[in-house]
Each structure stands twice: as C-alpha cells, then as structure tokens.
C-alpha cells in the first residue's frame, strides 16, 4: 500500500502535516510520495489541500483531505484491517 499526498505550493498545513503522514506511513510499512497540485491537470485537482489517496495494488481504496491525526489513523486502521 502507498499513501499519495497532493499538496500545494505555499500551503502551510501541507508543510506541517507531511512529516506526520510520513512517520505514520513508515510506522505501518507503507509507501509514501507527494505530488504538487501545480503539476496536475486542473480538472483532476482535489477540492482542498492537503488531500490524500491510499493505493493498494494500483487501485485507490481510500481518499480524504485535511490535517486531522485522528482521521489519518482511522482511515489507515480501517484499510489495513480489511
């Protein structure tokens, strides 16, 4: 599984939350990478930032946004315990 973070240039919450997500991914042996929204076609950009996709075998199994530690843990717990 891999967490993909969509972040935006100059996004303070993105900068603050990225190390938290990286640490959680490492703790759970998940891959992690980020994509800058500026590098994405406008029609597929998420509504707000940071935004996350959780992939399993190339398929999106979860998506969410925001900077809630609790939400991050809840999504990962639910997905890893399926």
pLDDT for position 74:
96
Q: Under 8 Å CB-to-CB from 75, ≥6 apart: which residues?
A: 52, 54, 62, 64
Q: What residue spans of 1-82 are helical by DSSP H? A: 12-27, 69-80
pLDDT tens track of the chain, all 82 residues? 999 999 999 999 999 999 999 999 999 999 999 999 999 998 989 989 999 999 999 999 999 999 999 999 999 999 988 7
Written as six digits, the tokens of 57 are 């075998």
pLDDT for position 81:
87
Cα dist from 37 to 16, 19, 28, 43, 76, whole Å: 17, 18, 26, 11, 23
Which domains, from first to last, does the chain contain?
A: 2-80 (3.40.30.10)
């Amino acid at each position: 599984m891999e967490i993909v973070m969509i972040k935006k240039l100059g996004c303070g919450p993105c900068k603050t939350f990225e190390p938290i997500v990286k640490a959680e991914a490492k703790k759970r042996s998940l891959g992690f990478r980020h994509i800058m929204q500026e590098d994405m076609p406008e029609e597929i950009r998420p509504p707000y930032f940071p935004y996350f996709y959780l992939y399993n075998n190339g398929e999106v199994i979860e998506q969410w946004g925001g900077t809630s530690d609790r939400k991050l843990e809840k999504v990962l717990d639910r997905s890893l315990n399926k």
